Amino acid sequence: MVKLSVIVPFYNVQTYAPDTLRSLRANARQDFEFILVDDCSADETPEILDRAARDLPGAVVVRHEKNGGLATARNTGLDAARGEHLTFLDGDDWLRPGYYEELLTAIEDLGCDFLRTDHVQCTARARSITRVPHGRRGVVMNPRDAILPADRSTSVDYAYAWAGIYHRRLLDDGLLHFRHGLRTAEDRPWIWRLHREAKSFAVVGLLGVYYRRGVASSLTQIGDVRQLDFIRAFDQVIDETAKDPEAASLLLKAVRTYCAIISHHLGSIERFEPPVARKLRSMSAAALKRMPQDVLQEALDSMDYERASRLRRLRRRPVPAEVAA
């Protein structure tokens, strides 16, 4: 029986993939499988993965004929996974030896649907620990209880799919797949759905994932039109949360987070090419008009002056009909 399936998408990461794969070998176990998804890489990543398939116990290489993005690549891995538990890693990150065995032991001991962990953020030579914004550790809780309050960072703001482990029953219940085709912010509707619909979760102070920041090919570093997928992602969060029985209490958090992300992108709009910057403004203005207006007003009233002013100006901006649709 496969105890753990590890899903690792790769796309044009020839510089980093060898480190990633070495760290997987240092985590291999007879009952672990590693599903390596090549998302139609155009560099030497496919050859690196072919060699890994021979050297890494439990490795399976799956290839896309067409680049689909991180969400689609993870879905491909989920569809192939056989494990009782599942986790993720990105193709440019790495692990400390023996981490997955400890992670599996932690979720088996606690018996919950999913487990969230801290991680180490790596930028050039600098290292810093990023913690799950949840105070109680090693205690099984209802995930819904970790969504609020609206004006503080909570577990739904810590959206990294690879910072945790998930029981297969979540996959069987349709809670682990990502929205097909999302190029960025794919973790946001995913983590909100988990916290709304899973039955139990816990947080443990277990460090083992090293998250590489500042990679030139990462979408977080590229100001192109793919970055605007955050709007589709957060529209999904709002739409699904609005249908929740507790929408009256949860929507303020969802809307306030959406507004904060819009403000963040507008505050660094110079990194976008002019046509993309114009599209960002018009799509963001349309998004504000789609939000529940009473909840939006409450969210803006709760934000600091600079961000609230920026968003109120945008809210007054006329939106072309084709964008509003």
What are the tens digits of pLDDT across the range 254-282?
Answer: 999 999 999 999 999 999 999 999 999 99
CA atoms of 216 and 201, how far apart (whole Å) = 34
Across all residues in the chain, what is the average pLDDT?
A: 95
Q: 221: pLDDT confidence band, cut at 50, 70 and 90?
A: very low
Least confident piece of the model among 24-38, 271-285, 309-323: 309-323
Q: 3-class SS at 87?
A: strand
pTM of the model: 0.94
DSSP letters for 6-69: EEEEESS-TTTHHHHHHHHHTT--TTEEEEEEE---SSSHHHHHHHHHHHSTTEEEEE-SS---
Retrieve residue 116's tokens.
């969230």
Q: Which CATH number fits domain 4-217: 3.30.70.580, 1.10.760.10, 1.25.40.390, 3.90.550.10?
A: 3.90.550.10
C-alpha triplet 71, 76, 77: angle, nearest 5°? 100
pLDDT at 9 over 90: yes
For 154-211, how does the pLDDT look when each residue is reduced to its tens digit (9 = 90+)? 999 999 999 999 999 999 999 999 999 899 999 999 999 999 999 999 999 999 999 9
Domain boundaries, the chain: 4-217, 223-324
For residue 325, pLDDT over 90 is answered with no
Q: What is the pLDDT of residue 56?
A: 96
